């Protein structure tokens, strides 16, 4: 029995079969969540006899789900063996979908990437053809990997916008009133599918493998084409009542009469975001300002071009614009600090590549506009996971679901 089946519902309906299956599940979940252990330690924690646990562990060894790490030293007597989950017995697939590309990766039990493809070209469109192309790209990735499909526990897919993770609906892309998107994609891939908002997945990725140390109350800022936040309270992702928390970019803050991508006027994103940065750059050129970035009439300028101009070309106009935006961002982030009083604020997304060009104006504005008692012991950090953060978060979410007693 592979790990994926072991963590599913038992096919043995007898009482003894159910109990045995639950014991084996408990051993696996203990080793996954808390790390390596001896039989005596497992027996004590699960309150099961040593002979019973020994029998269950031997079965898991024969199936290849558990490995013997060898004897450990002790103060005397017979040395016990240390047991661990076999890192190659199960894998987790994470996918992050952007407007013009997607990133996809496979992680093993130990959170190590078996394969990872970042920024694969893919034009996200709200159409059936785009959905089928998306699923075909994932199937091709699996086929070309070295991992058997039956060993992939599940897949988490991150989309921007409004995602109902509990029910499996995306209300921005591929929405169907009749069926959850998770069901539709699962049929195409032959795998359990979970949907997540991209920013929440990034926040969880940062929490699991990024700059987070022992902080439990965290705000993660995804400052990219759009703007959103991921919130963690007591080490858990915060979803809100309906699952749509974190839409920071769609807070109506400005009287500028600019239509946001959400359809409302004056949202934060209309002046602080990647797409507003592009508009501001073009407006500055029309006003007679100069830049090392030369544009053709038909050229599709991206916010990443301006970010690169600030970093690599030291272009004065690019630096001026990103600095001005970052100072405004810090001003409005201070509202969140005063409300949530977090342990840690992580700056992520494309704008985090700017380093001090973004961090210093944000930090200065935070100190100026937030309460001193709130700001005093809060840490500000830049994400170090780069474009991997969303895929890492997606893989970690699949693993989290697997460890949950409600995992199906």
According to the model, what pLDDT value does residue 224 have? Answer: 95
- Provide the CATH number for the domain around residue 24: 1.10.10.10
Distance CA 281, CA 320 (A): 10
**Range 10-26 average pLDDT:** 90
375, 239: one domain: yes
Is residue 186 one of the residues assigned to a domain? yes
Helix (H, G, I), strand (E, B) or coil at 274: helix
Q: What is the pLDDT of residue 405?
A: 47
In a domain, 336, yes or no: yes
Does residue 361 share a domain with residue 323? yes
Please give the residue range of the domain that contains residue 274: 214-383
pLDDT digits (tens, 9 = 90+) for 135-187: 999 999 999 998 999 899 899 999 998 899 989 999 888 987 789 999 999 99
Give domain status of residue 207, yes or no: no
* Residue 343 located in a structural domain: yes
Residue 5 has pLDDT above 90, yes or no: no
Domain co-membership, 256 together with 300: yes
Name the pLDDT band for 311 (thresholds 50, 70, 90): very high
**Better-scored residue on pLDDT, 6 or 93:** 93
Total domains in the chain come to 3
> Per-residue pLDDT averaged across 19-46, rounded?
90
**234 & 350 share domain:** yes
Which of the four pLDDT bands, split at 50, 70 and 90, describes residue 402?
confident
Instruction: Determine how many CB atoms are found less than 10 A away from the CB of residue 297.
Output: 4
Whole-prediction pTM value? Answer: 0.88
70 plus 166 within the same structural domain: no
The arithmetic mean of pLDDT across residues 89-95, rounded, is 94
Q: How far apart are CA 60 and CA 1, in angstroms?
A: 9
Residue 304 confidence class, pLDDT cut points 50, 70, 90: very high
Claim to verify: residue 229 and residue 190 sit in the same structural domain: no
Of 190, 208, 248, nearest to 224 by C-alpha is: 248
What's the pLDDT at 13? 86
The overall longest dimension of the chain from CA atoms, in Å, is 83
Q: Kindly tell me if the per-residue pLDDT of 294 is higher than 60.
A: yes
Instruction: Categorize the per-residue pLDDT at 37 as very low, low, confident or very high, splitting at 50, 70 and 90.
Output: very high
Residue that finishes a domain, picked among 85, 108, 135: 85
- The DSSP letter of residue 386 is G
Is 67 contained in some domain? yes
Residues 127 and 226 in one domain: no
296: in domain:
yes
Written as six digits, the tokens of 200 are 């929440």
Domain closes at, from 34, 65, 85: 85
**Judgement on whether residues 375 and 394 belong to the same structural domain of the protein:** no
Write the pLDDT tens digit of every residue in 355-391.
999 999 999 999 999 999 998 889 999 999 999 999 9
What is the secondary structure of 79-131 as a DSSP string?
Answer: PPEEEEE-TTS-EEEEEEE-SSEEEEEEEETTS-EEEEEEEEE----SSHHHH
Based on the domain organization, do 76 and 12 belong to the same domain? yes
Q: Convert the pLDDT of each residue in 194-241 to its tens digit.
A: 999 999 999 999 999 999 999 999 999 999 999 999 999 999 999 998
Cβ–Cβ under 8 Å, residues 154 and 90: no
Residues 288 and 188 in one domain: no
Boundary residue ending a domain (85, 104, 121): 85
Domain containing residue 244: CATH number: 3.30.420.40
Q: Is residue 135 within a helix (H) or strand (E), and if so which, with residue range?
A: helix 128-144
Q: Is residue 349 in a domain?
A: yes
270 is a domain residue? yes
Mean pLDDT on 98-121: 92
How much is the pLDDT for 42? 95
80 and 39 housed in the same domain: yes
Q: In this structure, are 23 and 148 located in the same domain?
A: no
What is the average per-residue pLDDT within 240-261? 92
Cα–Cα distance, 360 to 371 (Å, whole number): 18
């Amino acid at each position: 029995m592979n790990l994926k089946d072991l963590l599913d519902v038992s096919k043995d309906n007898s009482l003894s079969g159910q109990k045995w299956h639950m014991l084996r599940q408990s051993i696996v979940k203990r080793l996954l969540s808390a790390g390596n252990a001896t039989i005596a330690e497992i027996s004590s924690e699960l309150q099961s006899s040593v002979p019973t646990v020994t029998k269950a562990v031997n079965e898991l060894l024969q199936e290849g789900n558990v490995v013997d790490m060898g004897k450990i030293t002790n103060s005397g007597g017979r040395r016990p063996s240390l047991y661990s989950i076999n890192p190659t017995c199960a894998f987790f697939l994470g996918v992050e979908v952007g407007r013009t590309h997607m990133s996809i990766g496979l992680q093993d039990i130990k959170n190590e990437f078996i394969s990872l493809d970042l920024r694969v070209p893919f034009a996200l469109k709200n159409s059936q053809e785009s959905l089928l192309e998306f699923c075909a790209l994932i199937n091709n990735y699996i086929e070309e990997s070295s991992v058997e499909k039956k060993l992939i526990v599940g897949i988490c897919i991150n989309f921007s916008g409004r995602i109902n993770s509990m029910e499996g609906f995306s209300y921005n892309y591929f929405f169907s009133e009749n069926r959850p998107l998770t069901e539709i994609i699962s049929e195409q891939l032959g795998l359990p599918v979970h949907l997540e908002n991209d920013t929440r997945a990034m926040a969880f990725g940062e929490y699991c493998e990024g700059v987070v140390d022992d902080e439990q109350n965290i705000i993660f800022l995804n400052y990219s084409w759009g703007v959103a936040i991921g919130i963690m309270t007591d080490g858990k992702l915060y979803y809100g009542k309906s699952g749509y928390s974190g839409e920071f970019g769609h807070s109506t803050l400005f009287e500028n009469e600019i239509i946001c991508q959400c359809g409302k006027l004056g949202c934060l994103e209309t002046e602080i975001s990647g797409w507003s940065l592009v508009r501001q750059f073009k407006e500055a050129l029309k006003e007679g300002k100069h830049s090392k970035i030369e544009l053709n009439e038909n050229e599709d300028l991206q916010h990443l071009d301006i970010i690169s101009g600030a970093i690599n070309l030291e272009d004065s106009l690019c630096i001026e614009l990103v600095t001005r935006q970052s100072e405004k961002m810090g001003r409005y982030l201070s509202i969140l600090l005063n409300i949530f009083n977090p342990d840690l604020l992580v700056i992520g997304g494309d704008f985090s590549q700017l380093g001090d060009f973004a961090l210093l104006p944000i930090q200065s504005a935070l100190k100026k506009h937030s309460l001193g008692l709130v700001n005093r012991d809060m840490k500000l950090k830049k994400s170090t996971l780069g474009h991997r953060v969303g895929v890492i978060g997606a893989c970690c979410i699949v693993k989290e679901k697997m460890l949950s007693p409600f995992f199906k």
